[in-house]
A = this chain, B = another copy of it.
Amino acid sequence: MSPTATPRSELSRTRLPAAVTFAATEAAPADQATVRRSNLALVLQTVRTYGPWSRARIAGDTGLTKATVSSLVSDLIQRRLIREGEIERGGAGRPGQLVGLDNTSALFLGLEINVDYIAGVMTDLTGVALARQRLPIDVRGLGPAGTLARTAELVATLLAEAADAEAISVNVAIPGLIDIEHGILAYAPNLEWRDVDVTGTLRRLLTMPRTRIGLDNEANMAAVAEYAAGSAAGVRDLVVITGEVGIGSGVLAAGELLRGTSGFFGEVGHMAIGAPDALCGCGRRGCWEAVVGLAAILRAIADPDDELQDPALDLSTRLQEIEHRADAGDQRTLAGLTTVATGLGLGASILANIFNPEVIVFGGYFAALSRFLEVPLRNEMYPRVIAPDGGGCRIEFSTLGFEAAALGGAHAGIHWVMADPSLVEIPAARSPADSA
């Protein structure tokens, strides 16, 4: 059979996809329940995308019949995920009552536990923050039990802002290696925690049996926040670098948060790309974190007896002092910032060559000092990326501050409901006494 003698059988023409993609996904049986769940998610996501919308428009957008849409909308109203609002007038047919996301019933909480603070954010289903708080705290001194007790108090404080609404999820973010399936922190070197059952402890302290309590890596939750509400909103190929005591990363590839085979994905702080003699908190030498982490910049710009080195100093105050010195033209500060920015650009070029992301977001203290870091960072990074024009990769600095991971925890709960609204069950009829 030569190329010019293609067999002339009457096979109908095979439809050709644009490109063979490879995904080793396993097919699962599709049945009516699967279809219903998928369509519930479709309607909820359509309402989220377009805001208050009529059933007729939902049917038009989704290709579902009007009868199916009506049934799905009723279901979502019963689950208190959408609610009816104003009447749409002026259309061709009968006026329809618009339905929009229900921002009065479901609450989503995100917490972050880091070396010197606990942050908490509470949102509604639309992602609007209803309450937020940040507690300066010495996590190493308090230890896991004391810290988690304070965390539970922070949850209670946030919930006190809510009226008759239900907390759907409480997601905790910690910079460390995490078993997300069991909600256990395996190891957080900078907190000096090991094998802490974070979700089990909080479940006992909170006594909220209907609320999903989860644990995830701080950088992963920061990536979710940047995707959902940050400077890279909607960017599906995204690298987020957190800059605090430790350096971590969260990565979305084609919209999926990458996890690794045992949950240890994204430990970029320990890439061996630094000066061989730079000692890292992990005990190794040459880690990226040892060059660009908070301790490295303090070492570069301040002597041991400098007030900047005082461990009791609040992070914001410390960063303000660094900015102040840089603005005053202090040569040592400016040189230290340029050294950090160059190291940051080197690591960013490696991540751009590997991931070919649309955006790399720098958070934490990198964002706070972006005025001094951005130019030398770009100058180091872009020439080292082999794809033309850096593969199209943009550099952004986070606008979410040190609450990014907490906000991401709240948004992760929202995404979970958006992907499968049937996970929020329909409440049984409530008696008058219960609603008091």
Contacts and interface: CB of A to CB of B under 8 A. Distances in A.
Contacts of A22: 220, 224, 252, 256-257, 412, 415
13 contacts: A13-B209, A16-B423, A18-B181, A19-B180, A20-B212, A21-B259, A22-B252, A31-B35, A260-B356, A262-B387, A268-B354, A271-B350, A273-B273
Interface range on chain A (Cβ under 8 Å from partner): 35 or more
Contact of A29 (B28, B63, B162, B392): B63
Contact of A272 (B282, B350, B426): B350
B354 A271 contact: yes
A349 B428 CA distance: 54
Interface of A: 1-4, 6-31, 34-35, 38-39, 41-42, 45, 62-64, 152, 155-156, 159-160, 162, 164, 166, 168-169, 171, 177, 180-181, 183, 186-187, 205-212, 214, 216, 220, 224, 227, 236-237, 249, 252-273, 282, 284, 346, 349-351, 353-358, 383-388, 391-393, 412-413, 415-416, 419, 423-431, 434-435
A416 B15 CA distance: 12
A183 B353 CA distance: 22
A26 to B, nearest CB: 7
A385 B435 CA distance: 54
A254 B259 contact: yes
- Max chain B C-beta neighbours (<10 A), residue from A162, A186, A271: A271
A27 B9 contact: no
